[in-house]
Amino acid sequence: GQGVEQPAKLMSVEGTFARVNCTYSTSGFNGLSWYQQREGQAPVFLSYVVLDGLKDSGHFSTFLSRSNGYSYLLLTELQIKDSASYLCAVRDQGYNQGKLIFGQGTKLSIKP
């Protein structure tokens, strides 16, 4: 069926890295976005990708493989403040081109 899937939880260690995976199966594809959501707060936009490959944005990098319906968000040099949920969202295609389909989010916990 159609949807966006993410693991519910992920743990890592301060100073290392974390990779948040996202797989999707949708009727159309017009880009994929990543959002960060801290506990009790609104999601905040991090990155948008529409072409295959790695997009390096410093602390955050994103990878996309359209043929595999797969993306990941890579966080490097982790800090405790990076502890949050990370939401993957696929932009549908066609008439409703603005509509985002969200995954359930991955809660990233970072230990000292």
What residue ranges bind another protein (CB under 8 A)? Answer: 4, 8, 30-31, 33, 35, 41-45, 48, 50, 87, 89, 91, 96-105
The vertex-42 CA angle with 39 and 47, nearest 5°, equals 105
> Considering beta carbons, is residue 4 or 75 the nearer one to another protein?
4
> Considering beta carbons, is residue 83 or 104 the nearer one to another protein?
104
Rounded least distance, CB 91 to another protein, Å? 8
The span from the CA of 25 to the CA of 69, in Å, is 6
Rounded least distance, CB 11 to another protein, Å? 18
Question: Is residue 64 a contact partner of residue 49, using CB atoms and an 8 Å limit?
Answer: yes
Rounded least distance, CB 18 to another protein, Å? 19
Closest CA to 4 of 34, 46, 42: 34
**3-state DSSP call for residue 82?**
helix
Rounded least distance, CB 63 to another protein, Å? 18
> Considering beta carbons, is residue 8 or 11 the nearer one to another protein?
8
The span from the CA of 25 to the CA of 50, in Å, is 15
